[in-house]
Structure 1
Amino acid sequence: MRPRALVVLGCAAAAVITLAGIKAVSSIAGPVLLALVLVIAVAPVRGRLAAWGAPTWVQVAVPLLVVLLVLLGMLAVLTVSVAQLATLIPQYSDEFTALTEELRRLAARFGYGNEQLNQAVKSFDPSQVFGLVQGLFSGLVGVASSLFLIVVLVLTMCLDSVAFAHIMCTGSDRLPGLAKALATFARRTRRYLVVSTVFGLLNATLNVIALSLLGVPLPLLWGVLSLITIYIPNIGFVIGLVPPAMLALLDGGVRTMLGVILTYGAINVVTQSFILPKFLGDAVELSTTMTFLSLILWTFVLGPLGAILAIPLSLLTRALLVDSDPSATWAAAFISGRPPPDLKRKDPA
C-alpha cells in the first residue's frame, strides 16, 4: 500500500499539471466549457421537444437558436458597454482632481496633511477602478468574439446529446456512481443558472430604476454589470457596486454615493441573502470557503470567464473526482460543509 503522503503529493502534482495545461490553452478551453454549460442549460428544451415527437433537426435547431440569441445579445451588450466605459472615464478627471483637493484639506484639519498622505491620495486613480470593470467586459468580449467556434461546439454537442443520453442510461449499470454524479451535476448546474439568471434580471432591473432616480449616469451599463456579477460568487456584489458608487461620488457628491450604496445593499440583502438561497436550496453544495477558492482558481486559469463559470466548473470537478467515488463521502462533506447523513456526529472528548 502506498504511503498516504505520496498519494496526496501525486494528486497535487497531477492537479497542477492539469490546470497549467488548461491555462495554456485557455483560449480554446474557455469556449469549450462555455459551450458545455450552455448546452446543459438548454437541455430541457430538447427533452421537451423530444417528448412532443418533434423531428431530430428541430430538437437540434431550437436549442441552438436559443443559445445563438443569448450569445449575440451578450456580445452586443458587452461591446456597447466597453465603448461607453471607454468614453466615460476621461470625462470626470476635473471632478476627481477637485475631490482629492477637498480630501487633502479635510485631512489637514485633523493633522494628517503629511507628504505620505498626499502621495497616497495623489496616486489613487479612478480609472483603475473602472479599468477593472472594463477588463472584465473586454475579457468577455474576447470570448464572445469566438462566436463561430462556440456555435460550432454547441451544434456538435446538441447533435451528440441524444447519443450521450443513451450512453448515460446504458452506462448506469456499469458505472452507476459516475452516471449518477454527472446527472446530478447537470441538474444542479441548470438550477443554478436558471435561478441566478432570474434573480440577476430582477436585481439589474431594480438597480437601473434606483440609479435612474438618483441621477447616476449610464444606469443601463451598471445594470448589465450587476447582472453579470451575480454569477461571480462572494465578491460579485462588490464588483457591481464600486464603479457606480464611484461615479455617483464624482457626479453627484457624497449623498448620491451613499444613496447608491444603501440601495444596492438593500436589494442585495433581500434578494441574495434571504430569497435566493431558498430557491437554490441544495443545488450548489459548496461551502463558502470552497466557493471562494473556486473563484480564485478558475479566474486564474480562464480569466474573467472563469470567474463567471466558477460554480459550474467546480460542480463538474466535484462530479468527476468526488461524487463518482462512493468512498469519497468524507471529502464530499468537506467540500459541501455539511456532514453526510451516514456519519454520526461524535462529541469531542
Structure 2
Amino acid sequence: MSERSTPRAVIVLLGLACALIVVFGVREVASIAGPVFLALVLVIAVAPVRSRLAARGAPLWLQVAVPFTIVVVVVLAMVAVLTVSVTQLAGLLPAYTTQFQDLLSQAQRIAAEYGFGNEQLAKALRGIDPGSLLGVAQALLSGLMSVLSSLFLIVVLLLSMSLDAPITAKILGSVRADHPDLVAALSTFSHKTRRYLIVSTVFGIICSTFDVIALYLLGVPLPLLWGVLALITTYIPNIGFVLGLIPPATLALLNGGPRQMLLVIAAYCVINVIFQGLVLPKYLGDAVGLSTTMTFLSLIGWTFVLGPLGALLAIPLSLLTKAVMIDSDPRAKWVGDLISGRQGTAA
C-alpha cells in the first residue's frame, strides 16, 4: 500500500505559520535586524569597487578600506545633513503658529458659508496643529535618525562585512558547481539590488536637486531638508513621491498661502513625472523583478516588520527573500512568474 503524500493545504498552512513566526521574530529584534540589513545593502552597493580593485591586483587591505570608506563617508554626511536640518525644522515650526491660526479661521469661515459651521467641525479644526501636518516627515526622519543613531553598530557591521566580502565571494564561487541554483539566485539578487540602488540614487539626486532649486526659487524654508527627504523617499516604492511632497507643500501653505502651496505641488509633479515616471523606468528596466501588487505589499510588510527603515529597504529585502525562497528552487519558478508579473521564467 503506497504512502499518502502530505496534503498541499497542510503544507501551505505550515509554511504560513512558519513565515508568521519568522516575521514577528524579526520584528521583535528590529533594532538589530534593521542595521544588519542596511549594512548588507550598503556593502552590496559598493561591491563593484572591490571587484575592480581585485581585478587590478590591489592588496586585500585596500579592497576592504576603499569601499568601507566610501560607505562611511556617505552615511556620516547623511547623518550630519539630517541632524542640522531636523534641528532647524524644530526651531522653525513655532514661528508659524499665527499663520496656522489664520488659515484655520479662513477654513472655518469657508465651511460656514457652505453650511458646515457646526461645533464638531470647529473642534476638529482646533485639534489640528502644524506638527501633525508635518508628521509624515518627522516620523520618517526620526525613524531614520533612530537607526543612524546606532552608528557604532552600523560601522562595525560594515567593517565586518567588508572584511568578509572577499572570502565570501570565493566560497560562493567554489560551491557553484554543487549548488548552482542558489548561487545563481544570490548573484542575481546582488546584481538587481545594486542596479536598483545605483539607478535610483542617481535619478534621486537629480530629481531632488531640481526640487531644491524649485523650493529655493519659490521661497519655501529649509529647501535642503526637503531635497534630502525627496532623495530618501526615492527608495520608497509607489508612495514615496507623495511622502516627499506633503511636508514642503504644507510648509509652503503656512509660509505663503495656497498659491505657494499649489506652485510647490505643480513643480514637484512636473519634476517627478519627467524623471521618475518617464526617464527612470527606461534605465531601471526590470531590475526589480516584482509586480506592482507585490511591490506595494512588500512596502506594507517590511514597514510593519522594520518600521521606516523597512519602507526604505522594501525592494532589496523582497529581492533577498525571493532569491532565497523562490529563485533558488527550480520547482518554484512559476511562483517567481507570479511575483514578477512576467512569463517565461518557469521551467
Q: Is the 8 A contact 2:290 2:341 kept in 1?
A: yes
- 1:131 Cα deviation from its structure 2 partner: 2.4
1:174 and 2:174 are equivalent in the alignment: no
1:272 and 2:243 are equivalent in the alignment: no
Deviations 1:250-299 (A, max 9, x none): 11111111100000001111111110001001110111111111111111
Aligned-partner Cα distance in 1 for 2:76–2:128: 37
Q: Percent identity?
A: 62
Aligned-partner Cα distance in 2 for 1:14–1:169: 31
1:47 and 2:51 are equivalent in the alignment: yes
- 1:19 Cα deviation from its structure 2 partner: 1.0
Match of 1:322 among 315, 322, 326: 326
The aligned counterpart of 1:67 is: 71
- 1:341 Cα deviation from its structure 2 partner: 5.6
Match of 2:97 among 76, 93, 96: 93
The alignment's TM-score, normalised by the length of structure 1, stands at 0.96
| Matched residue type, 2:245 | L
The aligned counterpart of 1:56 is: 60
Deviations 1:218-266 (A, max 9, x none): 1111111101110111111111101111111111111111100000001
SS of the aligned residue for 1:328 comes to: helix
Which consecutive residues of structure 2, in runs of 5 or more, have no partner in the other structure?
Answer: none
The aligned counterpart of 1:347 is: none
Q: Is the 8 A contact 1:78 1:140 kept in 2?
A: no
| Matched residue type, 2:329 | D
| Matched residue type, 2:231 | L
Aligned-partner Cα distance in 2 for 1:101–1:147: 45
SS of the aligned residue for 1:53 comes to: coil
1:225 and 2:229 are equivalent in the alignment: yes
1:9 and 2:13 are equivalent in the alignment: yes
Q: Which moved more, 1:332-341 or 1:264-273?
A: 332-341
Q: Is the 8 A contact 1:85 1:134 kept in 2?
A: no
Which consecutive residues of structure 1, in runs of 5 or more, have no partner in the other structure?
Answer: 344-349
The aligned counterpart of 1:211 is: 215
Deviations 1:302-325 (A, max 9, x none): 111111111100000000001111
Describe how 1:1-349 pairs up with structure 2 within 5 A: 1-340=5-344
Aligned-partner Cα distance in 1 for 2:218–2:206: 18
Q: Is the 8 A contact 1:323 1:332 kept in 2?
A: yes
| Matched residue type, 1:168 | L
CA RMSD of aligned residues (A): 1.2
How many equivalent residue pairs? 343
SS of the aligned residue for 2:235 comes to: coil
Aligned-partner Cα distance in 2 for 1:98–1:81: 26
Aligned-partner Cα distance in 1 for 2:192–2:74: 21
Aligned-partner Cα distance in 2 for 1:69–1:98: 44
Aligned-partner Cα distance in 2 for 1:158–1:168: 16
